Homo-oligomer: A and B are copies of this chain.
Amino acid sequence: MVDGVLLRGAADRELNNFAALDQADASCVSFYGNPKYREQLARTRAGLVLVPDGDHEAPHAAALVRVTNPVIAFDRIVRAYGTLPPPFEPGVSPAAFVHPEAVLDPALVSVGPNASVLRGAKVGKGTRIGVGAVIGEGAEIGADCVIAPNATICQGCVVGNRVILHPGVVIGADGFGFEFVDGRHRKIEQLGIVRIGDDVEIGASTTVDRARFGETVIGGGTKIDNQVQIGHNCLIGKHCIIVAQTGISGSTRIGDYVVLAAQCGVAGHLVIADRITFGGRSGVISSIEEPGGTYFGYPARTLKEDRRDAMRVKQLGSLLKRVKDIEARLGDGVD
């Protein structure tokens, strides 16, 4: 399959797993494609390692197979033997609920058992609605989407084409808005929607709130990880990356190609320019107009500023000592 040459070891071992060099045991196929992992190769206990042309030190590996490009060869084996997503099977499960006024072609969509497609919802061709997923009243799902099990899309929300929503995702719950009247928090009705562009992927248990009015927007091509929270009326640009457990407060506008690493927080009503990258756990409390650049810390600042502040705290110990020395030199008068 990979057109390789057995360099060492037996060709008939049974291998039933895949792993990186440092995690592989005798049951695993692994690969070595980059010299920076030479040390891992020397220690790996993999059952078989795909290696490029050349001499390789891998005394603990059970077998080595030489191939032209180990990365491509490994990928081919994983695709052949890995755990593939279940294939698309058109049809509506008899155990699903599809409202008579829902709009979908049962021959071209897949609706799993215990899934629900409610009144007026539309589902495009090639889209699969996973087991237990809910497509709310009047929601519109484009073509070739994967709505995973137990995902929830609330009434009126609009999802583009080739969108992947993972299990537990909630699209279009009410935004968090109240006014304080007579000692109580009175609900401000949330009457907008969420609009998700083409080619968006949203991770497990992520929540995107509907707009108070108008739309909360996730731009085309943006990829969002698990357990991210996006508040009402946010406008997220195109091709952004938003990593796990990040939260973005309401009405904030994020540009295109912005990267938010894990566990960031962005305050509400801000404007963040294109192509900015935020390091993990950044806390963003003011708008950034200048596109590009990398920010860290809380409040978020440039890498240079962040390092300088950290360095200064580190220097405090020696600074204290220097001041004590000066005081000693200045003599008894100081107390």
Contacts and interface: CB of A to CB of B under 8 A. Distances in A.
9 nearest A-B residue pairs (beta carbon): A82-B191, A83-B156, A97-B113, A173-B204, A312-B316, A18-B213, A19-B214, A170-B204, A152-B167
Contacts of A155: 83, 85-86
Contacts of A209: 204, 226
Contact of A184 (B95, B205, B239, B308): B239
Contacts of A210: 83
B148 A150 contact: no
A264 to B, nearest CB: 9
A189 B235 CA distance: 28
Kindly report how many copies of this chain are found in the complex they form together: 3
A252 to B, nearest CB: 11
A241 to B, nearest CB: 7
B330 A320 contact: no
Contacts of A207: 168, 203-205, 226-227
Interface of A: 17-20, 23-24, 28, 74, 78-79, 82-86, 93, 95, 97, 112-116, 118-119, 130-132, 134, 136-138, 148-150, 152, 154-156, 164, 166-168, 170, 173-174, 176, 178, 183-185, 187, 189, 191-193, 199, 201, 203-205, 207, 209-210, 213-215, 221, 223, 225-227, 229, 231, 233, 235, 239, 241, 243-245, 247, 249, 251, 253, 262-263, 265, 267, 280-281, 283, 285, 298, 308-309, 312-313, 315-317, 319-320, 322-323, 325-327, 329-330, 333-334
